[in-house]
Amino acid sequence: MVRAPERNERSSFRRYIRGSTAALAAIVVAAVLTGAAPSAPAGPPRGVVGGSPADTATYPWAVALSSRAEYGSARSGQFCGGTLIAPTKVLTAAHCMFDQNGKRDDRPDLKVIQGRTDLRTTTGREVAVGSVYVNPGFDATWISGDWAVLTLDEPLSTGSASLVGADEDVYAADTPSTVVGWGDTTGRGDYSPTLRQVTVPLVSDAACSTAYPGGIYGTYDAASMVCAGEKRGGKDACSADSGGPLLIGGRVAGIVSWGDGCALAGKPGVYTRVAAFARDIRDAAGL
């Protein structure tokens, strides 16, 4: 996991190794290092698959997390997404702050990029991250409580996104939701240099529990997670979209977190349920 953008930050770093054979671990690690999907079983998850072009003018608070030292200069060093929720605060996934072995990865050159629709350009602003607050309840084994708040060294003046309220009930099955990001567009390591978006329906807790009943492919927890995706597959978040927003009615209701593969039938994407953590996120961000 050393080359940008092929390091897979949407992967559930321990889920695919814990309790498996050494051969499976080798397949998974090789896939993460090369950006290729392992032949069997389905590879580490999740860029926006089956979506369409988007623009940071439409989503001014959608930001890219960057570390050129770790991921190279291609695509501005992008490896995860995030959402500006206050001038100096960015909401992202906790697992973006860890490596594939589940260890904290405090990148000294970590920056947030805003207003750069095309990561091959120098438009927009890059601001250094001064500090990282990872949810103390984050479980790196099960990828639950998957949120973190970054504090920027300088404020970004463009408008911030709104979060859904604490315990707000916006997660009814089949509700349309939108994901934006710069990640893999095929599930095979074809990372987009430009921002993309896709609209997917929310999936019921019962269906998501059936899709992820436990084991190496993950356990769905309705109290802290929400699923979204088409039954037939074809549309989803994917690698390097991690940390980006799942929007319901224009507000941030989820954070791209994990899943089995990208856009597979019967395997919806799993997102952090923001309403379950809204109070803690606001406290961490000083909102």
> Catalytic residue numbers?
95, 146, 242
Q: Which tokens go with 157?
A: 């003046």
Calpha distance 226→208 (Å, rounded): 8
Least confident of 47-51, 85-89, 110-114: 47-51
Instruction: Write out the CATH class of domain 176-275.
Output: mainly beta
Calpha distance 183→242 (Å, rounded): 8
DSSP state of 262: S
pLDDT at 63 over 80: yes
Higher pLDDT, 5 or 256: 256
What is the CATH T-level fold of the domain 60-161+278-285, as seen in this structure? Thrombin, subunit H (2.40.10)
Confidence band, pLDDT 50/70/90 cuts, at residue 38: very low
pLDDT at 4: 29
pLDDT at 91 over 80: yes
pLDDT digits (tens, 9 = 90+) for 151-190: 999 999 778 899 999 988 999 999 999 999 999 998 888 8
Q: What is the mean pLDDT of the chain?
A: 83
pLDDT digits (tens, 9 = 90+) for 1-14: 222 233 333 433 33
Alpha-carbon torsion angle 273, 275, 281, 283, nearest 10: -160
Domain with CATH 2.40.10.10 in the chain: 60-161+278-285, 176-275
Calpha distance 216→283 (Å, rounded): 33
Q: Is the peptide bond before 213 cis (omega within 30 degrees of 0)?
A: no
DSSP state of 31: H
